[in-house]
Chains A and B, each alone.
Chain A
Amino acid sequence: MELSMIFSDPFVRGIVLRAATVGVLVALCGGLLGVTLVLKRYSMIGDGLSHVGFGAMALAPLLALLPGAAFLADYALEISIPVVGAAAFFLLRLSENSKLGGDSAIALISTASMAVGAILYQVTTGMSSDICSNLFSSASVLNITNKDLLLSVILCSAVLLLFILCYHRLFSVTFDENFCKATGGHPAVFKLLLALLTSVTVVLGIRMMGAVLISAVIIFPALTAMRLFKSFRAVILCAACVSVVCFLVGFAIACLCSVQTGPTVVLVNLAAFLLSTAFARIKSR
């Protein structure tokens, strides 16, 4: 895509701006939530949720096959979010209960929902590019409608607001659950909240990043920030900034070089992570 075309053609400009807005919001939420997820050793839950999201996104075209329900095809996000939210609740319970072997349970659920998703897509839309785009994101970036944009803005604002209101509690829960509980806190409630916020972010991000890659947006910025800063607040702020900047850089490269958005953003995140690691090494010498 030519740079001049993005700015001159109002149609193209609209598409690109919509995609960029949703992407920035998702990157912001992912960066914020990622720190807590990484520190609580919940990275795999984020990854598991994204795979469940892939399966859940395939539900909308299936439901649309029902007589008189064709309009449901446009409501993929609205249908996926409750499904992934329920999965978040379930995955959290599994990982708490170490007897069941949390990580293998997560692997089970994520592969199973990938399989369900793949079959559903084949049944409904035929073996089409939909699968590839939902896995790695490509054409679907450009399919973001104004409705999706509005939904993304509302939900991301909600995630941000809840995060800010509960910031100190999330710190307390992340650092020391037992103490939090002993002083009258409710760690279980906040962990559930965290899982729900993550599932919203994941579903909104799938179109942008693809189901396989969305968890990178959550995990990479947190790890990058942890290399650079030592206080919780600085790490959170840095992760949010790194996430947004990496997304914008990746998105711009993807547009200009006509490559897929998801993988490009992940590679930019990887570059940032490597740079910060190198920086931390040099500084510690």
Chain B
Amino acid sequence: MNVRPTHPAAVLASAAVVVLGVTTLVFLLLHLVPGDPVEVMLGEYASAGDRAALRAALGLDRHLALQWLDFMLGLAHGDLGVSLATGRPVAALLGGHFAMTALLAGASLAVAVVIGVPLGVLAALRAGRAWDTGSAVLAVLGMSVPNFVLGPFLMLIFAVGLGWFPIGGADSARALVLPAATLGLSLAALLARMTRAALLEELGRPYVLAARARGLPAARVVVGHALRNAALPIVTTLGLQLGALLGGAVVTETVFGWPGLGQLAVESIHRRDYPVVQGAVLLIALSYVLVNVLTDLLYARLDPRIGSGA
């Protein structure tokens, strides 16, 4: 059953509601701090004056609804408050980190597609044979292994043992390889299974038989015809899985010291710099909403049966 809206206007309307809900939830996050958030942030030995100043700066002395309104209005102007640790505007802080997370996510997607799709095609063409079984086991393993286990393993083999890549940081292009592989491999496993299933379904259709009967080379039938039609579920999977990817990035960035939004969020949690936590979480969540909207719109475009109010 498909409950996802398909008409562009419906997609955007539903996204607007979700964005409102997500921002409200992130706003409420600060108010979940047990006890007095100001005391938690400043410590119990802070002077009364400092507390009052921070309380006023955060707007915590006013009614919750007013604070919410302020938060939303600030957001509309790109104002996410000020970092308690550095005094810099949160929005400015997020920019550079966002670029690094986007770079990591893009590279991981590339890893997933380059590894996952060919593996899936091979498994579909050899369905039921040893290769297929082997790739199924690999896929379960790939989908089960958490980033914080795979990351150190890869680090151990390729950075410590073979010395091919740096252990962490973001000083060179080579530093991107291990984090991207860590994040991309589990998606590659999922993608391989999706590609296999979608391609097997297409290969059983009459047009494939017709193309084969016309004497087209097997490679052209598979890649040019069947895989093209199998692309729709594959693209949808990629879009939907980007959320898991962004979530996984938080952990992976911490493992490799990759200076992205996730690492910023985790560091800020340990520093009790809650405005930065709020900003980073909001930016990651909104990016995910945006990707989902784009996936829905793309889905409607790719499949002529959907859209136009159907």
Partners in one complex: no
Binding site for B on A (CB under 8 A): none
Binding site for A on B (CB under 8 A): none
